[in-house]
């Protein structure tokens, strides 16, 4: 690993300004770009630490506040240790913000994030990768489908509702994806039951997508997030191994 530094910045989008965090190796050279999509709790110190850790492996990592239309991060007062079961008001406030970020709006924003990466002297030429957590995993898959020529790999960890009956369900985008995908599913995740995993894999197989779909046994939704009650250190370690292996062979 190399030393990495991070900085807060603002990104211009067609509809305003998104606050973001950028982490990159401390060598001044261009490195493969990574778009890191946040979970619902948003841009905060623990995600910034994840970005710096990833950057230390030789990547330039951009973490946008995808909820920027509702305000700069953090949108809600978050405790140092997040336990939604004890703080139900957190999701009461975030729920409407999540619903307002439609797939169309999110993918319009994704174009701006990718444009920023493409124009940065800290990012090497060529397609970039993406990793996403919870809702961020869904955004990563949608971005791969919306910008197939710009995304080489996507990792999705403990994402829910990947293969529902909805017309805009992510699995219906499989035939638009050219990137290699990795899915790290939480075994104890009611938002992604076994039948949805099967439906997702069937759609990916039918479309000829290169992917790995793995079940992290015993892990709960949110297992990678060290500042939450769902955190699982063993599953998180496995997540880092799988994530770095994906980017190592694609970027």
Q: Model's pTM, two decimal places?
A: 0.97
Q: In a 3-state reduction of DSSP, which class is residue 19?
A: strand
Is there a catalytic annotation at residue 221?
yes
Mean pLDDT over residues 132-150, rounded?
A: 98
- Which residues are CB-contacts of 196 (< 8 A; sequence separation ≥ 6)? 161, 162, 163, 164
> So what's the pLDDT on residue 102?
97
- What's the CA gap between 144 and 179, in Å, rounded? 6
Domains of the chain, earliest start first: 4-250 (3.40.50.1820)
Between the alpha carbon of residue 67 and those of residues 94, 101, 115, 183, 187, the distances in Å are: 9, 7, 18, 24, 28
pLDDT of residue 96: 95
Catalytic residue among 24, 57, 134, 239: 134
Contact of 246 with 238, CB cutoff 8 Å: no
Catalytic residue among 31, 185, 221, 239: 221
Give the pLDDT confidence score for residue 86 in this predicted structure: 82
pLDDT digits (tens, 9 = 90+) for 54-109: 999 999 999 999 999 999 999 999 989 998 888 888 989 999 999 999 999 999 99
Assess whether 27 carries a catalytic annotation: no
Note the pLDDT of residue 113. 98
pLDDT at 87 (0 to 100) = 83
3-state secondary structure of 248: helix
Give the mean pLDDT of 109-134. Answer: 98
Residue 39: per-residue pLDDT: 98
Q: Kindly state the average pLDDT of the residues 166-191.
A: 97
Q: What integer pLDDT is reported at residue 84 of this predicted model? A: 82
What is the spatial distance between Cα 174 and Cα 205, in angstroms, rounded to a whole number? 9
Report the percentage of the chain scoring pLDDT > 90: 94
At 1-24, the pLDDT tens digits run 889 999 999 999 999 999 999 999
Give residue 19's pLDDT: 98
* Marked catalytic residue, from 39, 189, 220, 232: 189
Q: What is the mean pLDDT of the chain?
A: 96
Alpha-carbon span 182 to 179, nearest angstrom:
10
Q: What is the mean pLDDT of residues 223-239?
A: 97
User: Residue 163, CB half-sphere, CA atoms under 13 Å: how many?
Assistant: 17
- To the query of whether residue 81 is one of the catalytic residues in this protein, the response is no
């Amino acid at each position: 690993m190399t030393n990495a530094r991070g900085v807060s910045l603002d990104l211009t989008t067609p509809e305003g300004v998104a606050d973001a965090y950028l982490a990159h190796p401390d060598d001044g050279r261009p490195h493969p770009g990574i778009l890191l999509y946040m979970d619902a709790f948003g841009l905060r110190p623990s995600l910034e630490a994840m970005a710096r850790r990833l950057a230390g492996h030789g990547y330039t990592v951009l973490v946008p506040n995808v909820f920027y239309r509702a305000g700069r991060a953090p949108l809600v007062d978050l405790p140092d240790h997040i336990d939604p079961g004890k703080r139900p008001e957190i999701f009461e406030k975030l729920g409407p913000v999540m619903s307002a970020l439609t797939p169309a709006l999110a993918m319009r924003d994704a174009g701006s994030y990718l444009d920023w990466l493409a124009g940065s002297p800290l990012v090497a030429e060529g397609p970039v990768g993406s990793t996403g957590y919870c809702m961020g995993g869904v955004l990563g898959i949608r971005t791969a489908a919306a910008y197939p020529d710009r995304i080489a790999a996507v990792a999705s960890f403990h994402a829910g509702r990947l293969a529902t009956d909805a017309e805009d369900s992510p699995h219906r985008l499989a035939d638009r994806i050219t990137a290699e995908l990795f899915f790290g599913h939480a075994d104890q995740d009611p938002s992604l039951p076994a039948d949805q995993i099967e439906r997702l894999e069937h759609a990916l197989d039918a479309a000829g997508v290169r992917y790995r779909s793995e079940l992290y046994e015993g892990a709960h939704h949110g297992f990678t997030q060290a500042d939450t009650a769902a955190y699982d250190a063993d599953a998180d370690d496995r997540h880092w191994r799988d994530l770095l292996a994906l980017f190592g062979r694609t970027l």
